[in-house]
Structure 1
C-alpha cells in the first residue's frame, strides 16, 4: 500500500476494524511517529496498544535493533532528553548534521558571510570526496558515504510492528553489488542463500533476534583486565539456523556452554536458550570506554554464515528494560556486581556491528577482493566505574566543553573587570571566583585529555601525560598565588602611594613563587630529596648573575621602551642606520624588525634607546611622500603642474585628503625640477604606490605632449624652429590606444579620426548625468574625471577616477543606453567626443564589427558592475551577455542580421 502516513492510517483502521488480516507492506512514510500516534484516540488502541499496527510491514532505511554502538548511544541520550524513542528521521538528521560539521571542520571555514558561496562549494566538494566505504564516516545510521550521483548509500530494511515498536523482519533481502564475489552462484541458489529476482541477484539474509540476561560478574581483576561472567543467551529465528555455531572473540580459555537448555517452536518461530559461563577480557570493544571506566562484556559471531546471510539483531522486545540502566531496573541489577569489588554499574551497552575475518585463502572466499569475510557480530557489555566520589559525577561528560567555554569567558571577563577596577569593593569575591574557575577549567581539561589519550595512545604515554598534569597542579596554584599577590599587595600599594611598583620587584616575587613550586614538583612528583637541589641552587644563582650582567643594559632599556612606547608592534619605523621595517615585537633584550625584503633584524634594546627613531605609523598613519621630476624648461610651469595634479587625482591608491600637490623646487641648466607630493596611509605599500603614481604622471605628461628633460647637447640651425613631438595627441593615435576601436580596420579608424569633436569642461562641471539619454563616447586628452553613482536614497558613491588616455560612454555610443553614472570633471578637462552619427557609416560598412565590439563591451560592463557590488551571475548568464549586446548594437545602427 503506497501513500502517506496520515491518509494511510485511515485505511489501516478500516482494514483492522473489518478484521481483514492480509499481509500489508508499506513505505517508510508509515515508519514515523506521526503514523503510530494517529491511532491513540481510538478505543481499541487505548485498550490494546499496537492493535492497529501489529503485524504491519514497513520499508525503512534504519531499524534501531540493528544500530551500531553509536546508534545505541544516540537512542539512550535521545530518550533521556525527550522521553520518547527517536525515529529513523532523527537518526538521519543527526548524521546529516555530523557530516556537515565534518566538512566544515575539514575545510577550515570561518563563517565569513562574504565568502558564503565559496564556503558552500567547499562543503559540497568535501562531501563529494566521501565516496566509498573505505573512507566513509561512521555515524548512528552506520557508515555514511555517497555514490557518483550524490546519493547516500543506505540499505533498505523491512521492519514489522510489534507492540508499537518497529523490529527487523526475520528475513531481509540485500542486493548483490558484485556477483563475482560469490564463488559458486548455483550452489548458493540451491542453499537458498541467494535469490534471483527481476534480473537481479539478492542475498537472502536471515535475521536472528538475540537477547542477553547477565546473571553475575565475579573475579573482577583490573590488573589482568579480565572478569568471570555468567549469563543467559537466547536466539529467536525462523527456519533453519545452526544456533550452536557461534564463538567469542574475547574469551580467555574454555567457555562453558550449556544447551540449548530450552527449545520452543511457535508458528514456525523457534527459540533456543543457552546458559554460558567463562572468563572474558575487559575493554574488548573497538571503541574503548572513557578514562577510568571499563567495559565488562563479550562479543560473538556465527562460525559459518557471513553477514550477507545472517544478521544478529538486539531482541528489543525480549530484553525489555534490561537494555538500559534506568532507575526502574537498577535495583534488579545490583546483585550482578558485588560492592566489595569497589566498582559499580554505569551503563549497559548492547549492539550489533560487523566483524572482518581473514579468508586465510579458503577457496570458497577466494573471489573476495579485500581478502576478508564480513560477519555479523553481537556485542554486549556493562560499563563500570569506581564506587567513589568523582568530579565527573558532578558534571556529565556532555557539558565539559560548555564548562570550559563559559568558564573561560567568565575568567576573561573577571580579569578585565579587575584591570578596569570596575568593582573595587568586590576584589576578594572576584579573586575567589577566579580561583574556583581556574581549578574547574583545569580539571575539565584533565578529564577530557585523559579520555582522549586513553583512546589514542598507549598506557605508558598516558602515565607520562598524567605526570605532566601533576606538575601543572603545582604550577597553576603558583600562578594563582601570584595573582593574589598582585591583587592584594601590589595594587593596594600603587593606589596608596600613587606610584607604579617596579617590574623587577614584581618579577622577583613571581619567580620566587615559581621556584618554590618547582621544589614541590621535585619533591612530590619525582620523589627526590631537596637537600642536594638547595646546595646547587646557590652555585646556579652565581652563574646566572654573571650571565645577566652582560644583558642588564638591554633589559633596562627594554623596560624604558615599554614605558615610553615610542613604537608599537606593526608600526613601520626606521631606527638609526638600520633599514626601515615593521616592528614585530619588543622583548626584554631586543627589538625585532622585519624589513621590506622580509629579513628579520634583531636590534639590542640598548642600541634602540640610543638611536634616532622615525615612526611612520604613529600617531598618524597619513605619511607624505614625494618624487622629483625633471621637466624641460620650455613648458609653462602652470600647465605642467596642472597635468601632474590631474594625474595624481586619477591614482586610487593615494589619499584624497590631504590633497596631493606639486611644487617647483628649482631650476638647473637643463631642466625645471618639480616636486610631486602625495599622501598614503599604508606605508607597507610605499613602493607599489610610488610605482602607480609614476606611471600615471608619465602617462598624463606624455598625453599632454610634455617630455622630461634629458641632459644633452643640442645644435640649432639658424632660423630653425623647435619641433615638438605631437604624434601622440593626433586623433588617429588616440584611437589606436582605445579598446573599443581596436577591432576597427585601419581605414575605418582613419575615417573616424577626421570626424571627432574636441570639448573642454571646467572643474566640478558635469560631463554626463546618470539617467540622461546619450549617444556619444568621450576620450580624456588632458585632466581627470570621477565616476559617481547616485543611489535611490540620494547618497552618492565614488566608483573610480579616470585620467588621460581613459574613456567612458561606450554603451551609449554603441547601444544607445542611458548614462549609468555621473561623470564630473575634477579639474579643467579636455576631451574628444565621438557620436553615433560619426560611427554609423562604419558600422553599416563593416557589420561584422558588432560581434567583436560586443565581446569588448561585455568584458568592460562586467568589470564596471563588479566595482558596484559583488556579482553572483552564473556562467550561462555570462555566455548570453555578448549575444545580447550584439543584438542591441545591430538594432541601434539598423544592421540586418
Structure 2
C-alpha cells in the first residue's frame, strides 16, 4: 500500500530541512567538543576578579566558536568556582582531573589557589595556564603550569627600581598581606630595595583571616601616621578587599606619603568601590588621586588590537575590561593556538596524549620569534613557564588609572645602546634583574574635531579642522610631529595655549589639512568609512617618547560621538552620520636610512610612537545588508536554503511560489554575504572583502531585476492574456525586459562602480546616432512596430488582409516584421513600416462574429415562409454556428434565398460553408423541394450588429 501524498510531502520537507540545517544541528549538538576547564573565584571576597576572568575567556572562545571552532569542533568551557580558597581550589582541581575530559586548564586567579591546584595538575599531567597568578612558586618546579603575567620576583624588583630611580625615594615602608601573593611580593621588593640602597624602616603584615582585621589595619595606619615622613613612600601588596579598607583609612587620616600599589589593586572594579562615599561622590578620585599602581595593561596606551578587544568587551558585557580580563582573553588565545597547532585528536581515548602535546606546544613557545601576539603583548615562555611581559606604571586620577608620566620600556637588544655603562650611569637605561629598560617620557595627547568637510569617497580624502594638545613631563618638544596620512605636508598651526604646572607642561595648537581616509577596509562591509588622523614625532623614537590618550582631558568615545553629531562637525548637507569614534597609540616603523643615532638598530628600522584618532561615518540610510546579528546568519542561511529546496517538492505550484522565492533569495543573499565576509575577516584576508562586496552589490541589482521580470510575466502579462484572450506581442515583452536590464546596467555603473551616467549617456548617444544612420530601415520598422502595438489595428490571433495580399492570421509582431499565416498555409513576413501604412481589413473587429452567406435559387411556386424555416433549422444544426438569418428576393427566373450563418473561427469558414450547404440541400430534398442551384457567395461581410 502506497503512503498518502501528504505523508510523502512531509517526508521530503523533513529531509530537506535536516539537509539544510545539518551543519548547525551538528555544531550545536556538542559532538566532538573540546573541553577547557576555567577555574577562578566566582564567590567569596574576590568574586569580581573571577567574573573578569570568565568574561575575558568567554569573549575569545565565543568568537572562535562563531568562526567554526577548531577543525569544526566546538570549544566548551567547564567553569569551576574555587572561592579564592586554597582548600576549595585543591578540590576543584581534583574535580577537573576526575571529570577526565578537560584538555587544559585556565586558572587559577590567585597565587595561593594556583599553587594548591598546580600539585593536582602536575600529578595528573594536565597543562594549566594562569592568567594572573604572580608568585614564582606557581610555575617553578611544575613543568605543566604556565602563566600569562609577570611574576612577583620581576614585579618586586621593577617597582623597587622605579621608586628609587624615577621617584628618587631614599626610604620606603611596606604593607602586605599574609597570602602567598602579597608575602612573596613584599619579600622580593624589600630585598631589591635594600640592594639599591633604599632604607626600609617599617614592614607591616596582617592576616586576611584575622577576626580583628579591621582593628589591625587601623593600627598600621596609626603607626604610619606617627612615623610621618620618616616612613617614606609606602609600597602596598595585597588584594582588593583589604586594599579598599586600607586606602579609606589612609585618606580619612590625611596620610600624605606617596602610595604605590602592586598590580592587584589596578582594576576599575576596585576604584568603583569608593563611589558610595560622600567625599568620593563630591570629588571623584578623592580617595585614590595621586596614588600609583603597577599593571600589565593600561588602556590609554591601547593599540588597534587592544581597542578592538575593548570595544568587543563593552559590547558583550556593558562594562570596561580590566587587566584580568585582558590576560584571560590572551590565555584563551594561547590555548586556542595550542589546540590548532599541536595536532590533537579530541578523542577521550587520546586525552593523555593530547594533553602532553598541548604542554609540549606551550613549552616550545620559548622565543620572541615564536611568540603569540595579544592584547597584553607578545607571549612566550622561559624554562620556568613565565612570560617576558612588561609592566606599565599607572597613576590614579579622577577615579581612572592612567599611564604615569615616566615609563620603563624594555630594551629589545643591548646592541641598540652604544655604551651600556654610560646609559646605566646616566639612568637613561635601568637594569632590573637581567633585563634592561629605557626611561621613557609619556605625552598625554588629545584631539578635538572642529570641522570635517569635503569628504570624497572616490579619492578617499577629506578636509579636517581640529585642536590638538599635549601634556608632558620634562623638556621635550612633543609638538614636532609628522602627520602620517596627510595628502600633503601639514604644519602645526599657531600655539593657542601654554601652561606650566609643577613639572608638567601643557600646550595646545590649531591644525587644518587634507587627510587620507579608510585605512580599515573591513569597515566597508558595514557601509562605513573611517576618517583617520595619525601622527608621530619627527625625531624621538618610541624608546624616548610615547603618545598616550589623554583620558582625563578627552571625553569618552560615546560622548564625543554624540558631541560631533550635535555640534555639526560633519556637514549636514552631505548626509553623513557618525557611527563610532576611537583613539589609541600604536607603533610606526621608519627606515633608519643610516642615521647616526640609529646605527645600532639590527633591523634597519626604528619604532616611533604613533597617536591615532578615527571617526567612523556612514550615510544616513536604512540598511539591511551586513546589519544582521552574526549569531543569526547561519540559521537564516539554512532556513532560506530549505525554503528554496521546497520549490522542487511535487505538488507545489512554482508560479504561486514566486513571491516567497523572491523574499527567500533576498534573505539568502543577505546571510551568505555576511558569512563570506566574516569567514575572510576571521582569517585576516581583508584583500578579499572588497571584491566580495562588489559581487554582491551587482547581485543586489541583478537578482531583483530577474524577479521583477518574472513577476511582470506572472502578474501582468499572463492575467492580461487570460482576460483579453489575446497574446501579448513578444515585442512588448522584450522591450520591457531590455528596458529593465538597461536600468540595471546604468544602476550598477553609477552606484557600484561609481561612474557618472551623464558622460556614459553622452557617449552612448553618439554611438547610437552612428548606428542609427547605418540601420535607418530597421529603425523605421522598429518604431512602426511600436506604433502598431500602441494603436493596435490588429493583434496576435487576428485574421486580417493587408492590401492585395491573401487573408491570414497574425502569429507574431517582432521588432522588425509582422508575421501572417495565410489561409493557403504560407508564412508571410511583412515589414512593420509597410504594415503601418497599408490598408488593413481586420476580420476580428469590432468583435469575433463572422458572417457567411449562402444563396439558394428556387422556383417561385414554393411558399417563402416554409423555405425560410427549412433553411434556418438546417443552418442552426451545424455545430459552431452562433445564429442565422434568411433573406428572400425575386428574380426574373425565380426566387433567391440568402442564408447567413455567424461563426467565431474565421479560419474554418470553408468548413462551415461546406457543412451548412450540405445541411440546406438535405433539408430541402426531404421536403420535396428541388433547388435550381446552390451557390456559395464568394464574398464575406461583417455583421453590423451581431
Calculate the TM-score normalised by the size of structure 2: 0.46
Larger Rg belongs to: 2
Higher relative contact order (CA 8 A, sep 6+): 2
Calculate the TM-score normalised by the size of structure 1: 0.48
